[in-house]
Chain A
Amino acid sequence: MIGYILRRLLIAIPVLIGVLVVVFLLIRLVPGEPCTAMLGERATPEACAQFNEANGFNEPVLVQLALYAGNVINGDFGESIRFSRPVGDIIIERLPVTLELTIAALTVAVVVGIPLGVMAARRHNSAADVAAMTFANVGVSMPIFWLGLLLAYLFAVVLLGTPFALPPSGSLSPGVRPLPFYEVWGWEISEDGFGSTVAEFISNMTVTNALISAQWAIFWDGVQHLILPAITLATIPMAIIARMTRSSLLDVLGRDYIRTARAKGAVERRVVRRHALRNAMLPVVTIIGLQLGLLLGGAVLTETVFGLAGVGTALFEAINARDFPIIQGFTVVIAATYVIVNLLVDISYGYFDPRVRLE
């Protein structure tokens, strides 16, 4: 197992380095001088000279790359042009919002998708099966930004005034100011250092923060704001998980040992749960891992639709404002998150299926 993990790491590290290099070079492919691209067309030559000096643009490209890589490893992503703040600080504000949304969406997708697939497989070719698979096919064909707009219209306009009404934008109602959990707990946290970064990061996950510090009103408000974006983002993975569960379970239910289990008189429920489902779950676990890229890309669209202040909206706003350091930093962070999560999925796969380790 350790050898397998090491081999996986050896594959992931060059990919991470490659990602960093690609993003770095991509930003340098923007036509024109970086100075006029970032400061605007009317930047004076003096301002440009100063800007180039301050950002190291006078150095050879390889030196710049090495400097940038070194900075990134130390957690320094440069400074945003628009906000004049370190990009790292903005990441700590924004990434938790996206992570919370992604985790919520993945939870919805798994909790709904797997039972849906199991039901479809157990009643193979029944009306319920056809309905579930039609739902899956339609769900996967909808543009999620459109689904988001439809849900917002349905829950914020059509159902307005009913108990089912849900807020269409933001992560909390206006004026609601949650306390960070460490203040509620009365922790003293020093300004700098790793501990305060982690505490800050966790406190920016609105719902989680409210939950662990027992601010129930804010927790409920946050959950209500999270429902629509989470359902929107969950739809495609849910459909994929449901279909994968169905086809995998159908495959397993046709095997000899299932017939044996049935022959010795086991109840159908027990056959499915104890014998079939466990073996059918392996491809489902893989497919769940594969959804993460989709979720991170979809988060950009979902956040834009629901006005959530996550990584996606930050990236989107930075593109419109041509805020290069943010674009560069956020792209690297998103891709790195993706590579690391995929690494974890690979490792867990090796844990569940020992055969994989030998490849």
Chain B
Amino acid sequence: MTLGEAEMSLRPDVAVPDPESLLEQPGSVWRIAARRFFQRKVGIAGLILVTFMILVAIFAPLIAPYDPYQNFIGQSGAERWLPPCVNAFGCEGTQHLFGLDGNVRDFFSRVVYAARVSLPLGFTVVIITIVIGTVIGAIAGYAGGWSDNVMMRIMDVVLGFPSLILAIAIVFVLGPGLRNTLLAITIVTIPQYARVMRASVLSVKEVDYVSASRALGAPPWKVLVTRVVPNALTPLVVLGTLGIATVILEAAALGFLGLGAQPPTPEWGSMLAAERDRIFTAPHLMIFPGLAIMITVLGFNLMGDGLRDALDPTLNK
């Protein structure tokens, strides 16, 4: 759980924009939100960091000087755990910005390529989670009664576990690897989204335009899909942005425990685990993957905070 998520779990309805409060301003809800988002430094800082990491992931083959799997054994000056060698700083050997790892591979290339593992994983998990969380939360909130009870009690049981512990148990059962990491983190994350969606649907379903739609004779599923869900989605957008940060941290943690991405795939968490016995002799191998995780996570956290502020009607003054 990140800062923003923790606060959202206390006030899950905080980001539902009240349509009336927005009437005084021209433009759609989203255009107003975008304008407000760009007025605050926090969100912009987050957007810059996130854009930077996405660009790194997309253009990894252009940025990385070497193949992340290429082995430098036998080349002059190449040795295991070689410290960083930057030509601009006066190092005369072959340039290795972050040095070489325990398998004599260019560490900079590996850190760059690892962005192609963590970022897509974060986005995939959050998109799947939002879809499933929306379906569960919307049905539970709109239908109420026994289906609400059954679904929410199941969610309670999943929330009864500390999320990392349950994810560890699930990956253990399914076997280590990236795909199972994705599945495990998805399972442990859904309840939080379902709860927020349910709370959001409950607050939207009594609004006048929903009652009007119902009074006009629209079937319940149509009211739910066309009137309730689109207007209840806002908190999930905020939660999802903050959620990518959490997912990336949890995936890195599973990688660190040896349950996530398997070697030789470059992944920040498992790279840290592979070299952790070297922290006293080759600290550079420990600094850079962690820094990469931190920049990515910080970016999504700041962007999520900015989005929440932009969508929060209580700040609409």
Contacts and interface: CB of A to CB of B under 8 A. Distances in A.
Given A142-B294, A149-B276, A327-B169, A15 B286 contact: no
B160 A338 contact: yes
Contact of A297 (B9, B162, B276): B162
A304 interface: yes
Contact of B10 (A15, A287, A304, A335): A287
Contacts of B7: 243-244, 247, 287
Given A16-B160, A19-B157, A304-B257, A286 B10 contact: yes
A153 B279 contact: yes
B207 interface: no
Contact of B290 (A149, A291, A315, A334): A149
Contacts of A334: 161-162, 165
Interface in A328-349: 331, 334-335, 338-339
B247 interface: no
B6 A15 contact: no
A231 interface: no
Given A18-B157, A316-B257, A327-B172, A300 B165 contact: yes
Interface stretch (A22-30, A48-56, A87-95): A22-30
A127 to B, nearest CB: 15
B274 interface: no
A145 B256 contact: yes
A290 interface: yes
Contact of A153 (B157, B175, B280): B280
Interface string B162-189: 1111101110110100000000000000
Q: Which 7 A-B pairs have the closest CB atoms?
A: A297-B164, A18-B157, A146-B290, A141-B298, A293-B162, A141-B297, A296-B162
A149 B286 contact: yes
A23 B169 contact: yes
Contacts of B249: 143
A335 B160 contact: yes
14 contacts: A18-B154, A22-B158, A138-B298, A141-B294, A141-B297, A142-B293, A143-B272, A146-B289, A150-B287, A240-B1, A294-B162, A301-B256, A334-B165, A335-B165
Interface string A304-339: 110000000001100110000001000100110011
B272 A149 contact: yes
B199 interface: no
Contacts of B67: none
B172 A146 contact: no
A239 interface: yes
B279 A152 contact: yes
Nearest to A27: B173
B153 interface: yes
B257 A143 contact: no
B302 interface: yes
Contact of A319 (B154, B259, B298): B259
The interface size bin for chain A is 35 or more
B191 to A, nearest CB: 12
Contacts of B175: 31
Contact of B161 (A143, A146, A153, A335): A335
Contact of A296 (B165, B245, B276): B165
Interface string B246-282: 0001001100111100000000010010001001100
A19 B157 CA distance: 6
A283 B10 CA distance: 8
A126 interface: no
Interface string A131-156: 00000111011110111011011001
A170 to B, nearest CB: 15
Interface residues of B, number: 49
A69 to B, nearest CB: 15
Contacts of A140: 2-3, 301
A298 to B, nearest CB: 8
A287 B6 contact: yes
Interface in A1-21: 11, 14-16, 18-19
Contacts of A143: 249, 252-253, 256, 269, 272, 290, 293-294, 297
Contact of A149 (B162, B170, B279, B297): B279
Contacts of A141: 2, 245, 294, 297-298, 301
B253 A145 contact: yes
Contacts of A156: 280
A63 interface: no
Contact of B163 (A11, A15, A31, A297): A297
A339 B10 contact: no
Contacts of A331: 161, 165-166, 169
B304 to A, nearest CB: 11
Contact of A293 (B163, B168, B287, B293): B163
B120 interface: no
A259 B156 CA distance: 42
A198 interface: no
A319 B3 contact: no
Contacts of B161: 19, 22, 293, 331, 334-335, 338
A140, A147, A152, A339 pick with most chain B CB within 10 angstroms:
A140
B283 to A, nearest CB: 5
Contacts of A19: 157, 160-161
B260 to A, nearest CB: 12
A305 B269 CA distance: 13
Given A18-B153, A19-B161, A145-B253, 8 more contacts: A143-B290, A149-B279, A239-B3, A240-B3, A247-B7, A293-B162, A300-B168, A304-B257
Contacts of B164: 297-298, 300-301
